[in-house]
Amino acid sequence: MENFRILHILSPLKWNGEVFNSQADSNWKVCEKTIKFLPNCHHYIIVPTQHDITLNAPNITFVKYNYNKTMMLNRSQFNFKQVRFDFNHIDVDFVFTHQSELSYNIFNWFHTNRYYEDVAYFGFYHWIDCNKSRGSVSGCPSFYMRQLDSMHNLDANFVHSPLSIDYLKSNFVNVDVTPLIKNVYEMPLSSKLDVEATPFDLPQGKKILVFNHRWNESSGIKKLIDYSKDLSDEYLIWITDENCDVEMPNFFVKHLRYSDYAYLIQNCYASLCFIDGYSTWNLSVQDSILMGKPLLYLDHPTIKLVVGETNNGFFKNKVEFLHLLENLPNVDSTKLHEHDFVFELQLKSAMQRYWDDTKKPPKDTQRWIDAIENGCNTKRELIEKVYGGSRSTGSQHYIRRHLLNNGYRDNIKNSMTEYYREGKESMIKRDLFNQL
Residue-wise pLDDT for 327-385, tens only, equals 999 999 999 999 999 999 999 999 999 888 888 999 899 999 999 999 999 998 998 98
Find the mean pLDDT for residues 402-430. 86
Give the whole-angstrom CA distance, residue 253 versus residue 211.
Answer: 10
CB atoms within 10 A of CB 389: 10
Looking at domain 207-335, which of 3.40.50.11540, 1.10.490.10, 3.90.1260.10, 3.40.50.2000 is its CATH number? Answer: 3.40.50.2000
pLDDT computed for residue 232 by the predictor: 94
- Residue 435 predicted with pLDDT over 60: no
Q: Does domain 5-187 have CATH number 3.40.630.30?
A: no
pLDDT of residue 297: 97
The pLDDT tens digits of the residues spanning 5-31 come to 999 999 998 898 999 999 888 899 999
Give pLDDT, residue 431: 45
pLDDT bucket at 73, cuts 50 / 70 / 90: confident
Q: Which residues contact 143 (CB under 8 A, 6 or more apart)?
A: 75, 76, 101, 129
- Give the model confidence (pLDDT) of 165-206 as tens digits: 999 999 998 999 999 999 999 999 999 888 899 999 999 999
What pLDDT shows up at residue 139?
A: 64
- Mean pLDDT across the stretch 37-60? 95
Residue range 228-262, pLDDT digits in tens: 998 999 999 999 999 999 999 999 999 999 899 99
How does strand 42-48 pair with strand 19-20?
Answer: unpaired
Q: What is the DSSP letter of 24?
A: G
Fold match, 5-187 / 207-335:
yes
Task: Please state which of the ranges 67-76, 130-139, 296-305 shows the lowest mean pLDDT.
Answer: 130-139
- Please tell me the total number of residues recorded for the chain in this structure: 436
DSSP for 353-366 reads HT-PPPSSPPTTHH
Distances (CA, A) of 319 to 14, 209, 270, 313: 37, 17, 17, 13
Compute the mean pLDDT over every residue in the chain, rounded to the nearest whole number: 91
Q: What is the pLDDT of residue 87?
A: 86
Write down the pLDDT at residue 322. 96
CB 392 within 8 A of CB 383: yes
Residue 419, pLDDT > 50, answer yes
| Res 392 pLDDT > 70 | no
429 or 321, higher pLDDT:
321
What are the residue boundaries of the structural domains of the chain, listed by start? 5-187, 207-335, 365-435
Q: What is the dihedral of CA 366, 109, 37, 289, to 10 degrees?
A: -170
Report the pLDDT value the prediction gives residue 138, as an integer from 0 to 100: 57
The answer on pLDDT for 50 being more than 70 is: yes
Q: What pLDDT does residue 388 have?
A: 83
- pLDDT by residue (tens digit) across 287-310? 999 999 999 999 999 999 999 989
Does residue 401 register a pLDDT over 50? yes
Report the relative pairing of strands 120-124 and 15-16 from DSSP bridges: unpaired
Write down the pLDDT at residue 432. Answer: 34
